[in-house]
Amino acid sequence: MKFDTRDKKPKIWNVAVVSAVAVISVTVLAAAAGNRYIMAISLIMDAYLACVIVMLITAFFRQLQYNPYSYNVIYYLGFSLLVFSALVFNVLSTIRVFSNPASLSIEQILSVLNSTARNFLILISVLIIPFSAALAISNLLLIKHEGFRPVNILGIFMGVFLIGGLVLILRYNRNFSGSPEELRRHEITMSLVTSFYLYFECMMIGAIAAGLIAAFYEPERDKDIVIILGYSLRDGEASVSVLKERVDRAIAFREKQLRETGRDLIFITSGGKGTDEALSESRWMHDYLIQQGIPGNIIVEEDQSATTHENMKFSKIKIQEINPKAKVAFSTSNYHVFRSGLYARREKIRALGMGAKTKWYFWPNASVREFGGILIEHRLKQAIILFGLIALNVILALLVYRA
């Protein structure tokens, strides 16, 4: 699939329309005849969930064609997995209804939906446990090779957080004995906890998938400019290795493009000089490009930026000076492509990224850091979705365990 080929952003208002139709249909049937239409209600829920999955997956692929560096890519993929989990459990309920229509009530169907979050989290524990262990192992190897720094144990903290949530949910997801009011409070509390972890893990799954897709994508070889993103030189040889990989990736792209199309390009080396750096990242990349036989007249330095966002912001000024209509790509580390693309789009640079190889033990921890950065972005939008998810699960709990 080719990225960046659609001019129109995909919309998912159809999900809201289908949801409204499903809610109205189920409400009318339940009010009219209660459990007599339980089979019809269950089938409507199956059809509704299946439609939502199709809409989310379709929106996911269209979003890649419109803008692969978007939070929508994460949301569409992550939450389509959640809806798929709800569909599986609802289909099992439907099978039970067909075999014995009197075996389920509307409240029990709502209970199945209310339990979707915790069941989903328990199901993906088969992935979360080895994933958390792999994060810890990669962090230990990272510390062994590159020394201890607080940032080098982010993966361990992430693993502990994920396992801790799983233990908490398993600990309280069991038969509860007590008064109806105590049961109600217990289920509402469980809804709050599972909603939080559900949102976090759906975001994590979506972010990992989006990051991998972005990292392994190869831009079309028709570019006029490649921006090479800088990396702090303060860590000595380890930093030089990362920066060298980014430049080598850009050089390899140029060589392929020259072979296939005969079309040359311009490199923009983007990265300023920190107080603890002997020279700017841009100058280091410039010198390395010259050493690799790249002509100096196709290298443009951008040496003012201190962050990824500034890399894109100040590189855009250079692009405007060179060719405002240029086709642009950027080169960075594989774990960094997705978030770099976010900043490129924020600066109205319609560029596609290419990912440079990273030592395998470095990638997991770096990906956790990138995921943390993604969570910080668009905090309001994420808060709205999170609280909406919490509200939905709490309302379901109140309906199922109403006094």
For 168-226, write each residue's pLDDT tens digit: 888 776 666 667 777 778 778 888 888 888 888 888 888 889 999 999 999 999 999 99
- pTM beyond 0.75, yes or no: yes
Boundary residue ending a domain (62, 94, 113): 113
**Residues 163 and 205 occupy one common structural domain:** yes
**Residues 109 and 130 occupy one common structural domain:** no
- Going by C-beta distance under 8 Å and a sequence separation of 6 or more, which residues neighbour residue 259? none
**Residues 79 and 154 occupy one common structural domain:** no
Sheet holding 225-229, edge to edge: 299-302, 266-270, 225-229, 328-333, 352-356
**Residues 46 and 123 occupy one common structural domain:** no
Domain that holds residue 7: 1-113
**Residues 10 and 133 occupy one common structural domain:** no
**What's the confidence (pLDDT) of residue 235?**
64
Residue whose structure tokens are 């792209």: 253
Q: How many CA atoms lie within 13 A of 192 on its CB side?
A: 6
Residue 172, classified by CB atoms within 10 Å of its CB into exposed (0-12), middle (13-18) or buried (19+), is: middle
Q: Please, what sign has the CA dihedral across residues 111, 114, 116, 121?
A: negative
In angstroms, the CA 330 to CA 351 distance is 7
Boundary residue ending a domain (87, 113, 139): 113
Q: How many CA atoms lie within 13 A of 262 on its CB side?
A: 0
Phi, psi of 381 (to 5 degrees): -60, -45
Number of domains present in the structure of the chain: 3
**Residues 89 and 133 occupy one common structural domain:** no
pLDDT band at 119 (very low <50, low <70, confident <90, very high): confident
Boundary residue ending a domain (61, 93, 113): 113
**Residues 150 and 210 occupy one common structural domain:** yes
**Residues 284 and 294 occupy one common structural domain:** yes
**What's the confidence (pLDDT) of residue 221?**
94
Q: What is the mean pLDDT of residues 19-46?
A: 80
**Residues 50 and 169 occupy one common structural domain:** no
Q: Where are the alpha helices (DSSP H) in 147-236?
A: 154-172, 180-216
**Residues 238 and 346 occupy one common structural domain:** yes
**Cβ atoms of residues 341 and 348 within 8 Å:** no
